[in-house]
Every structure is written in C-alpha cells, then in structure tokens.
Chain A
Amino acid sequence: MIQQIIFYTFAALTVISASVIIFTHNVLYAAFSLIITFLGVAALYVFAGADFIAVTQVLVYVGGILVLMIFSVMLTNKISGQAVTTHSHNRFLGGLIGLVLFVLLMFGILQANYASLFWLEKAQSSGNIIQDSTIQLLGVKLMSDYVLPFEVAAVLLLVALIGAAYIAQRQMDEK
C-alpha cells in the first residue's frame, strides 16, 4: 500500500513537471522542471528494479547534462539581459496529433496487457527473473554478450568529441 502511494507520488511528480516543460515559455523554468522530471523517472526505475540505471540517470542527466544546460541558459541570459523565452506554433494541430497518438498508444498498451505477455510468463515460470542487484550481471553482459555495442559506443563518443572540439575551435580561430 505504502509502495503504491510512493509510486503514484513519483509518477505524478514526473507528469506534472513534464507538462510544466511543455507549457512554460521561460527556458530556465523548463530546465529546472526537467530536473524534477529526471529525478522522478529515476525513482520509477528503482520501482522497476533497475537500480543501476536509476543511479546512472541521476549521475549523468541530473549531475551532468542538466547542470550544463542550466549554465548555458543562464549565460545566454547574461548576454541579452532578458529571460530566454520560446514560442509555440501550430498549437491546435500539434495538440490534436499528440492527443490522437496518446489515445491510440494507450488503447494498444491496455490491449496488450503487458503483465500477461508470452515471454514474461515464460520467464516467470522458469524463474529467470532477477531479484537482487543487477550491477554484476550488467558488468558481465557488457563484456560478453554486449561487447560489440560497447565498443561501437566508444567509437561513437570519440567521433562526437572530435567533432565538437573541431567545430568549437574553428569558431574561436575566426574571432
């Protein structure tokens, strides 16, 4: 019972802060409410039994990316001297498409009835469900089954880093 209350609190927090991001015009407010969204999602990961992902979510998104975002918004504030705002276009059409997608997805997911999916039932009956910490398993899998994606991600990051440095450097040269 208490678990359910906590779950719904975090879910509500996530949804409300996410809608603040959509409806506010001030970019700084949006960035701040994004923190709450990410923290809420991290809590939901904990409920799903994905402890490692929850920690990563907090470390990478809240600790790294969001701080960077807020800094850049505040620095841009400083230059122009006024709040950075956004405007929305095509509100009606966008809202309509969003609503239709939501209804269809909701209908589909309810119809699918995830709890009784074929593969989940099979895993449950064979006792293949992880109960305790996933960290050790993740480490082993990353170096065995998923070693190729792991290496590809490394190359991807290398290329992105080189590109970002190159673009920034070129613009500094010009100035």
Chain B
Amino acid sequence: MEKSIEVHSLGTQLSEIVESAFFVFPEICLLAFLLLILIFDLIFRQKLLWLFTITALLGLFLTTGLLLQQWSLTAESSEGLSLFSRMIQLDRLAIYFKILICVSAVFTVLISVNYKSRAGSFHLRSVKRIGEYYTVLFGLLLGAMLLSMSTHLLIIYLAIELISISSYILTNFNFDERSTEASIKYILYGGVSSGVMLYGMSLLYGLTGTLDMTHPSFQENIAAAPMILVLFAGLFTLGGFLFKISSAPFHLWAPDVYEGAPTPVVALFSVVPKAAGFVVLMRYTAHFFSQVSFDFPWQTLLAVIAIITLLLGNFAALWQKNVKRMMAYSSIAHSGFILIGVLSTSSFGMLSVLFYVSVYALMNLAAFLIIIMISRETGSEEISQYRGLGEQYPLIGVLMLIAMISLTGLPPTAGFTAKLFIFSSLWEAYQSSDNLMLLLLLVFGLFNTVVSLFYYLKIPYFMFFKKSETTFVADRFSHQRTGRRHDKFYLFDKILAIVLIFPLLILFFKSNWLIDFIHTIPFEF
C-alpha cells in the first residue's frame, strides 16, 4: 500500500518536472547553443571564424526573443512560478534581469569582434580557438540567468560557481603574464569567498533543515534560532554575494582582474555577474534579513557596507593611472550606490535598483568600448596617453565625455536620473525609519558623487585640454598599423558606440519609458 502511494507521488513529481522544463526554454536554448558552438569547434576548427560569432549572436537573439515571450506571458500581478520542486522562481523580476543579461551579452560579443589585446594573442578575427571563448561565455550567461531566478541555496551556490569558474577562465584569455596573475588572484579570492558562503549556508541548513529560502519552515526556524548563530550564518552567506557584486570587503579582486583580463570580458564582468548578484541579494534580504525575529539592525549593516564600498571605490579611483583600473574602482563605487537602493527595500527602492543597473550596464559597456577603440589607436591603456585625442577625433571625444558625465551622474544623462532615484528612495527609507545611519549614508553618497567627478572628468580633460605630443602616434606605433594610417577606427565600432550612448541621453528626457516598463514588475518575492 505504502509503496503504491510512493510510486504515484513520484509520477506526479516527474510530470511536474517536465512541465517545469517548458518554463526554462530560454536557458535550454542558451545551453543548446553552447553545445552547438562546441560541436562547430570540433568540425570547423581554425576555419570559418565568422561562423562562431554569427552563431553566438543568433543564440543570444533567440534567447532574448524567448525571454520577451515569457515576459508577455507572465501576468503583471502574478506572484511568480516555483519550478523544479521550488528550486527556482520565475517572476517578472527574474525575466527583466535575464533580458538585461542577454542584451549586455549581445553588446559584449559585438564589442569583442574588433578587439585585439596588446600582445595580439587575443583577437577574434585571427584567434585559433574562438569556439572556447563563446562556450565559456555562454556558461557564464547560463549561470547568471539561473542566479537571477534562484531562491534555493543549492542553486544559488551552483550558479555562483558556474559564473565564477567561467570568469576565471575568461580572465586568462589574454595569455600574458598580467592576465595569468589576475586569473590566479581571482581564483584565490573566489575560492575563499565561496568557502565562506558555503559555511554560512551549511549553518543555515543546520538551523532550518531546508535550503529553500521561500519555504515556511526556513523562516519559522530562523525566527526560533539563537541570534549569534543566525548572524554568523547570514553574514557568511552574504559574503559570497558581496564577492559577486565586488562590494567591500570582498572587492580586492576587481582592480587586478579588470586590468589583466581582455577588455570585452571586463565589460561583461562589470555588468552581468553584478546584475545577477544584485537580484539574489534582493531576494536574500527579503527572505532572510526581514524574517529575523530579534531586533537585528541589518539595514544599518548594509548601510555601513555601502559607505565603506563608496569610500574605498571612489578614493582609490582618484590615484589610478590606468583606465581599466580606474573603471574597476568606479564599478566598486557603483556597487555601493546600487546597495543603497537594495537596503531601502521599498518597491520604489527596487525600482531604482533596476533602473540604475540598466543604465549602469549601458554606460559601462559604452565606456569600455571606447577604451578598446582608443587602446587600439594608442597601444596603451594609460590615462596620460589620452591627451589630445579629443581634438584629433572629436566624435570619440564627445562620446567619451557623455559616458563619463553619465557615470558621474550629472544631467543631461540617464546617470543623473538613476542617482536621483536611488537617493530619493534612500530619503524615503530614512523618513520612514528615522535611522541616523541612513542619513549619514545619504551625506556620504552625495559627497562621493562629487569625488567621482574628479576622476571621471580627468579623462575628457586629458582628451580635450591637454595638447598631444604629436609625434607619438606616428612614431611609436607606426609598425602596428602599416599603411593603414587613415583607418583610425572601425566604422562598426563608431556606430556601436553611438547606439550605446544615445539611450543615455534619451533616458534622461524620457525616463518614464523605462520606468513604465519596470512598473509592471510586482515587487513581491
């Protein structure tokens, strides 16, 4: 008798799994293209290099299409579907981030088309094994997409590891000393933070008997457990997420990795894992911190982390001479700003996080594209090499200026609107809670925006106001561009840069276009 009940329940469970599979079509599509590229690599190795790029783009477009279809199918008010026996949760929040991830990936692929590393060892037009690049890239995307849906600690861990391991490999794709060193450092920091996170998760499991954050017994048992242990478990688990969003005190890997890794990969690193990390952080704060029964000031804790992240990122960025290192610290600082939105927890705070992450993706991709274009021209990523470039190439200069103004958060760019939303959500949170720490955070945030002005505007300043040493372009690097002196930048790159910069201006004047879109997401976890 008992046996037959078991079999029956297993049958329904299996049919549930098959049903669930229909809701992860975008992920299955991505995985299928990952395997397709791998097979192509076996068949056409070292030939037909363009085929790989086309296939990768096709895969990403198809996935984005499936995601858009998913978006239109989910109702605005629905709570979200729990799939695969409550492993992942498909809601509009997840779909929004997945679309963002896919679009950023499309731009990353387009950016990498004309990229050439300093030693020439990584160049998608000539590199021998381009297939591996796209395979690992798709692995990273798959991890990020899973992470943005996950509500189960096991899936969170696996997705974070998938992202991390793909990142370690991609960091090494330049195959010079710098990039190997960066990769090793990344592995070490990543291993430690994963270990810390796992320790926290194991404590959480011990306390609650479940890994599912949405499970009622998770919250009941968290509420019943003693404070010290819950604190330890919660903070250790938080550490893994902070690593992914490169926030203090888990930010140490960022500068070296950003400097050593191929620039298109850096552009991806600064957007995709971060976006996925913020979704999971939002879910974690909603399910864990808000459920803790004792009076734990977690909002203050996140505020302190945000303040430290802001200060470290912005002040370290001031002294950087290398553009990519500077962008690394800038991305740390931006994490601090986005954390402000997360800790506000109101639905307006969530809205501002989504808006900020979207705008941040655009401006970072644009900035890195221009860095790639300029470094191909000058053969260097030092800020001092930017002198006079604005006069020589006005279009590039103006585009860089707009990107930097947007990163600072000044009008008339979307960066300003994003910061405005973040700060008003913080002000709202302060008024409703009267937590002095939040006021302090507001002051520090505004102060840091001013600080960031100095290093962001240093680049346009060098480009427009410093006279170039006219000889360096012609002499030092003429051997690299034999007979092609007139062909400064690829037209393709220029168009791409304009496509990325233009929305930054549009979204300032018409921010409600994106806001209306975000407003249809129900912010219930």
Contact = CB atoms under 8 A, between A and B. Distances in A.
Pair from one complex: yes
Interface residues of A, number: 34
Given A118-B220, A149-B154, A163-B169, A144 B17 contact: yes
Interface stretch (A23-31, A52-60, A152-160): A152-160
A135 interface: no
A109 B165 contact: no
B209 A149 contact: no
B169 A159 contact: yes
Given A119-B208, A152-B155, A159 B139 contact: yes
Main secondary structure of the interface of A (DSSP, over half): helix
A156 B10 contact: no
A152 B85 contact: no
Interface stretch (B53-61, B223-231, B243-251, B401-409): B223-231
A46 B159 CA distance: 30
Contacts of A108: 226, 228-229, 232
A156 B135 contact: no
A166 B129 contact: yes
Contacts, number: 101
B292 to A, nearest CB: 14
Contact of B158 (A144, A156, A160): A156
A145 B229 contact: no
Interface of B: 10, 13-14, 17, 31, 34, 38, 83-85, 87-88, 129, 132, 135-136, 139, 142-143, 146, 154-155, 158-159, 161-162, 165-166, 168-169, 172, 175, 206-210, 217, 220-221, 224-226, 228-229, 232
Contacts of B232: 104-105, 108
A162 interface: yes
A162 B155 contact: no
Nearest to A143: B14
B168 A163 contact: yes
A123 B209 CA distance: 10
A57 B14 CA distance: 30
Contacts of A149: 87, 154-155, 158
A114 interface: yes
Given A123-B209, A159-B135, A111 B165 contact: no
B221 A117 contact: yes
B195 to A, nearest CB: 13
A160 B165 contact: yes
A47 to B, nearest CB: 16
Nearest to B28: A151
A109 B199 CA distance: 13
Given A114-B206, A148-B87, A162-B135, 11 more contacts: A108-B228, A119-B208, A144-B14, A146-B154, A147-B17, A156-B162, A156-B165, A159-B135, A163-B132, A166-B129, A166-B132
